[in-house]
Amino acid sequence: METIKWAVNHMPKTEDSQLKVMALDEVEKARAFHESFPQYSITPLVKLDKMAGRLGLKEVYVKDESYRFGLNAFKVLGGSFAMARYIAQQVGKDVSELPYNVLTSDELRKTFGQATFFTATDGNHGRGVAWAANKLGQKCVVLMPKGTTQTRLNNILAEGAQATIEEYNYDECVRMANDLANKTEHGIMVQDTAWDGYEEIPAWIMQGYGTMASEANEQLDDFGCERPTHVFIQAGVGSLAGAVQGYFANRYPENPPKVIVVEAEAAACLYKGAALGTGELQIVDGDMVTIMAGLACGEPNTISWDILKNHVDSFVAAPDWVAARGMRMLAAPVKGDSPVTSGESGAAPFGALSCIMCMDEYKELREHLGLDESSKVLLFSTEGDTDPERYESIVWGGNSR
């Protein structure tokens, strides 16, 4: 069985200029925007008391994003806020002046007109962008990498977007979508990865993800948890990880929680960068075959990478069986705890946590992280059963492929 790999962060620090992207006032603005949607409700934070005891931890909390806007995943938070900020910029207003009822109004349609939002996705991000475009009366084109399931394609088509599965990997689909946007009148790329020259929209997407971290922090307070001691967060390009790390670094500057980033081993570009130790970006290419479709991204977001290398404690590369283990444990937790329907990418951090706590081969990492009966761990289940057949094959059928 393949083992978990990890790298403690010894990369040289930078000026930390990107941390301001996740400033608390920027996150508050994003959250106010999301709260203006009639579909908005705060997603559950599930406290797993019995599981915490079984794992040898004080408290374990899982933020369940399967309830987000009825879309079964958190990604819509980023795409919708970035689209709103882009429209606000084009009409010369602050995004705080464009809540949902204004963005969907005939008056704004006359002022702004109609744009075509392009994106590449394994499923959740594209579905969120397509949903937001549909609600806001905009057009949307989505390119999906090879290996994408028909279910995920159908979910995007159902939102009225133009969508296709290509014979290329995720990173190549990003380049293709960007080329199409550049060639289309009123075409705009809405992607949750940044590269040199494309950083404004990815920063807005990260701010949108901040809503989830902000909610979780408030919910921890409601449980009487002043702050988490550890945060496990998954990464593909690293946008979500950078957003969560950035939020907590800004929220608790004097005493931040330890953040552990978990990637799919087949696409562990951030882990490889941390293992190299120089701080230089590392890229993974090829097919990146993994059940964690949402994490199958080989080229890091440049904004996030700067935040992560300044603040993250450790980077973990997880084989597929780790995510499958996490899915099963959350679906059938210790008696007395509430189950969480967590998809392949959503359950990877919990799977990694359970292995670190329960397996002797990861004792060194457990001790380095200081995970023990005093630890209060926060995790984010970023998706539910976005592909129900695959979910059942793993949780019921025992597959890990």
Residue numbers annotated as active site: 75, 122
**Structure token digits, residue 216:** 């979780």
Residue that is written with structure tokens 């457990």 in the block = 366
Rounded Cα distance, 269 and 300, in Å: 7
66-69 own/partner pairs: CB under 8 Å, 24+ apart? 66/340, 66/341, 66/342, 66/343, 66/346, 66/381, 66/383, 66/384, 66/385, 67/41, 67/43, 67/384, 68/43, 69/37, 69/39, 69/40, 69/128, 69/131
Contacts of 399 (CB under 8 A, 6+ apart): 324, 393
CA angle 56, 59, 63 (to 5 degrees): 125
Phi, psi at 299, each rounded to 5°: -125, 115
Query: What distances in angstroms separate CA 47 from CA 50, 53, 233, 293, 303, one per listed residue?
Result: 9, 12, 17, 27, 32
Is residue 91 within 8 Å of residue 103, measured between CB atoms?
Answer: no
Phi, psi at 178, each rounded to 5°: -65, -40
**Structure token digits, residue 286:** 């090829």
Is residue 319 within 8 Å of residue 265, measured between CB atoms?
Answer: yes
Phi, psi at 317, each rounded to 5°: -110, 115
Rounded Cα distance, 27 and 49, in Å: 29
Rounded Cα distance, 270 and 314, in Å: 10
Rounded Cα distance, 234 and 375, in Å: 19
